[in-house]
Structure 1
Amino acid sequence: MSARILVVDDLEANRRLLEAKLGADYYDVLTAQRGEEAVQLAKREKPDLILLDVMMPGGIDGYEACRRLKSMPETRHIPIIILTTLDDRENRLRGLQAGAEEFLTKPIDDVQLIARVKSLLALKVVIDELRAREASGKRMGVIGEDARDPLEQHRLTAGNVLVVDDNASQVKRIKAALEVEHRVCMLGEADAAEAPDLCVVSVTAKSFDGFRIIARMRSGEATRHLPILAVVDPDDRQRLVRALELGAHDIIARPIDEEEIQARARTLMRRKRYMDALRSRLDQSFELAITDQLTGLYNRRFLFGQLAPLVQRSQCGGEAVSVMTIDIDHFKRLNDTYGHDAGDAVLRDFAVRLGSNTRPSDFACRMGGEEFVVIMPRTSGDIACLAAERLRRSVCASPFMVPGVAHAIDVTVSIGVAAATNSDDSVETLLKRADEALYEAKRTGRNRVIGKAFDHGELNTARVVR
């Protein structure tokens, strides 16, 4: 995986050494000598990963640079590995609490460094893809430009932590640390039914294979995006690297340090909330792209995208597809008499009735204004006419109650029905026939269903009322 990595160290020899190690794996390396320079360079160049030294003379040190990078929307999603000669608990916690994803001690173990880099870059790729799609949604106008950053919207609150470990004393220590902020349960407990926000897996367990647990979680649909914190022996480099290769997002060494596991859990869950928020906004933007905002029905874009393959399938001898086009009678008069707010209320109420009188397999769409279309897969023209008549009766049988209007409003609809019947049909010709039937229904008195005669191409009245 190629990526751009920013190396920050005040010593040229250290920068050159890291540049050579990373360059050997075909990474593109940027360098900086000071903390302030690193912050500005990261803001401008947007690297995929930052390797940040702590001890830098003058200006700001690595901890402060990390805090600044994690506080800016442009750079807070970039993973940071702090590199230092200060191999003590206090400095390790300072780095993790400043927002760094990892804290490695010099001299750097090359295997651990490359394994950690690859693991963090894999996560960065996913975040970048989500951010790119979000940017596309903003350009399309389906995600508001004033929307707050997802990380700001989803600051860390209590989460669910699932612990998979057979060491009783170690489990007790993990629970004591994490239950201060989160709900902690063991695999198999009743509470484990709740969706976890973090899984702590021991790869040193005696009664099960922790690596297999990690692999299954990373491949399972429900747990694919679940952050995994692997517990390893401090000197077992092979198991550490293997856990990262299989998909663990972070590593903590035994014996468990309570403050360290708290810091690592916060970082992992904060990143999960950030990615969940991005996915949620993308799901919402997709829904907005195919949904009519007033009625909640599908929109014109969805209509044509869904109808085309159904008509094509029918042309090739597949199942029939029918459409009904619906127009609310005298809707302009209703708007002029009661106002556009009343008209909107009628459209929303009609959409509810339309939804309750169509099958789950049908697609109810708003074409625009007071015109609607229902796509009916696997439906012949005669059956579609019966469904249209049921809808017509539902609309005219019960007046519409509109806020601000003292009395109920009588509303009727005219409906045209057409079915794809031959190999020459296209989306355009099918909708045109349905429109012709609709115009005939309006011309002959409204409040009726007219369907094309599905054998001869003539207009026939499926049902006339009054």
Structure 2
Amino acid sequence: MSGKLLVVDHVAANRATMHMRLSGAFYDVLQACDLQEARQHLSGDRPDMVLIDSKMPDEDPLRFCRALRASPKTAHLPVLLLSGKDDRGYRIRALKAGADDVLVRPVENGILLPRLRSLMRRNEFSQDSLVPRDTAQALGMADAQSEFQARASVLIATQDTATATTWQRILREKAPYDFSAQILDDALRSVTQSPAPDVFVIMPDAAQPDVSLRLIAEIRARSATRHSSVLVVLNSATRALHGDALDLGAQDVMKGGFDGEEMALRISKLVQQKRLSDRLRDTLKHGLQAAVTDPLTGLFNRRYAMTHLARIAEQAAVKGGRYAVMMADLDRFKDVNDQFGHTAGDAVLVGTARRLRQALRPVDLLARMGGEEFLIAMPNVSAHTAQGFANEMCSLMRQTPVEVPGMNLGIPITMSVGVAMGGNHNLDRSIDALMQSADRALYSAKSNGRDQVVMS
């Protein structure tokens, strides 16, 4: 199925007709004869979208919409209202109540189905992204929303400068956003420029409809603008572009030409959705980063290190090169914690990570394996080169005490390193075997007096 839709209508014939049309488009269709039954479906069946008749006898659908928006579980659920007439006043009230749009019966499939697909795409992204967001909150990783948010930017693209300028002037009085204007050709040429606007408002030119459609396609194809929202404004001459605009990636369409109040409402909704999706992506990005990095030093953790080390081994096997695996351990680190405290110990670990990162090449892997132990993997090196790098790292630690911020304290520290070589004649050795060899070499370095490098 393409998704689960809930149709709410007190007229059985209307429900049956809509069920037939939507089932033919491979949607799973639920039906409710009143809004109370609709609530039961929402709590149990969890539909992906709701289509509601604008005149329900048991309750005002606009009040129902406001209740959906007020609940965290349904705040982002797409809602379409179906009306028997094109009533601007009702459409404005519906948008203010939280409806995504009002469609006028009879709704052509060329308008209904693209609108459903557009809303379903938005809903699927929100639902997929809510999982990592909830996980992050449960783990205490979710950041508080910043008190400061830059003003949203809106680019108006029309066929002539006068129209765009007029819209810009009117909208500035109705919405607190930064509006700019371009003609369609200029917007198409500059679509890759950064920073991208939060919302594009596009009015197609009836004489050259392909320009606006291509602009929508380019917005969706370019990484700089992929996450910008798109509102397309149609009139009687361009109404046939409705379905194509939505299927190419527009999030919203106005069918009756320019209306300042309605456009401001639709732009505000798109800005809110854009900011939500940006937060969800940031949460996902931060969650993935937290999963592979050590929170204290910022180095990769064991989970990432083992996967990356396996890739280094695979590349060495393909290219016939050699690589080094090093286990490095700070000497007498327990004494640092006992004598100066754990805050000083953390500062030593952070300072060690910084020094090692500066000494290594960009292609080398550096990870904290736990405690005061670090893993270093160096692709495409000989044993002699690897030993030289290891000696240099020991020298860096030995020469200068690690400064402890806020304590006016420099703590002397040394490091021992065990090195094992992989690749070439050692292709049959597993990653685990190499790490065990490096561990044994590290143990020898510790046993032989510390502050030295031992080759396996």
- The question of a shared fold, defined as TM-score above 0.5 by the shorter chain, is answered with yes
Contact 2:316 2:380 in 1 (8 A): no
Q: Which residue of 2 aligns with 1:184?
A: 179
Contact 1:43 1:74 in 2 (8 A): no
SS at match of 2:283: helix
- Residue 212 (structure 2) pairs with residue 203 (structure 1): no
Q: What is the alpha-carbon distance in structure 1 between the residues aligned to residue 237 and residue 35 of structure 2?
A: 32
Q: What is the alpha-carbon distance in structure 1 between the residues aligned to residue 166 and residue 35 of structure 2?
A: 36
Q: Which residue of 1 aligns with 2:118?
A: 119
Give the 3 Å change call, closer, same or farther, for CA 291–111 of structure 1 in structure 2.
same
Q: Which residue of 2 aligns with 1:144?
A: 138
- Residue 427 (structure 2) pairs with residue 423 (structure 1): yes
The amino acid of 1:219's aligned partner reads A
Q: Which residue of 2 aligns with 1:402?
A: 404
Q: Which residue of 1 aligns with 2:279?
A: 277
Contact 2:159 2:204 in 1 (8 A): no
Contact 2:316 2:379 in 1 (8 A): no
Q: What is the alpha-carbon distance in structure 1 between the residues aligned to residue 356 and residue 249 of structure 2?
A: 48
Gaps (5+ residues) in structure 1?
453-466
Q: What is the alpha-carbon distance in structure 1 between the residues aligned to residue 297 and residue 373 of structure 2?
A: 12
> What is the deviation of 1:236?
4.3
Contact 1:156 1:266 in 2 (8 A): no
> What is the deviation of 1:234?
3.7
Q: What is the alpha-carbon distance in structure 1 between the residues aligned to residue 196 and residue 380 of structure 2?
A: 38
SS at match of 1:272: helix
CA offset digits 1:138-195 (Å, max 9, x no partner)? 2xxx553567799x87998621112221233431233124334111223459997422
Q: Which residue of 2 aligns with 1:83?
A: 82
SS at match of 1:420: strand
Instruction: Kindly report which structure 2 residues correspond to 1:99-114, keeping only aligned pairs within 5 A, or say none.
Output: 99-114=98-113
Contact 2:331 2:413 in 1 (8 A): yes
CA offset digits 1:194-230 (Å, max 9, x no partner)? 2211111222264671111111222223322221111
SS at match of 1:375: strand
Q: What is the alpha-carbon distance in structure 2 between the residues aligned to residue 66 and residue 157 of structure 1?
A: 29
> What is the deviation of 1:366?
0.5
Q: Which residue of 1 aligns with 2:11?
A: 11
The amino acid of 2:373's aligned partner reads E
> What is the deviation of 1:131?
2.6
The amino acid of 1:129's aligned partner reads D
Q: Which residue of 1 aligns with 2:352?
A: 350
Contact 1:415 1:438 in 2 (8 A): yes
> What is the deviation of 1:86?
4.6
Bigger mean CA deviation after superposition, 325-334 or 379-388: 379-388
Q: Which residue of 2 aligns with 1:387?
A: 389
CA offset digits 1:237-282 (Å, max 9, x no partner)? 4211121222211111353000111111111121121111111111
Contact 1:326 1:416 in 2 (8 A): yes
Bigger mean CA deviation after superposition, 15-24 or 367-376: 15-24
The amino acid of 1:426's aligned partner reads S
- How many aligned residue pairs are there? 445
The amino acid of 2:431's aligned partner reads V
Q: What is the alpha-carbon distance in structure 2 between the residues aligned to residue 283 and residue 173 of structure 1?
A: 40
> What is the deviation of 1:288?
0.7
Give the 3 Å change call, closer, same or farther, for CA 403–239 of structure 1 in structure 2.
closer
Give the 3 Å change call, closer, same or farther, for CA 288–185 of structure 1 in structure 2.
same
SS at match of 1:425: coil
The amino acid of 2:156's aligned partner reads V
Contact 2:416 2:452 in 1 (8 A): yes
**Superposition RMSD on alpha carbons, in Å?**
2.6
Give the 3 Å change call, closer, same or farther, for CA 19–246 of structure 1 in structure 2.
same
Gaps (5+ residues) in structure 2?
none
The amino acid of 1:381's aligned partner reads A
Give the 3 Å change call, closer, same or farther, for CA 394–146 of structure 1 in structure 2.
closer
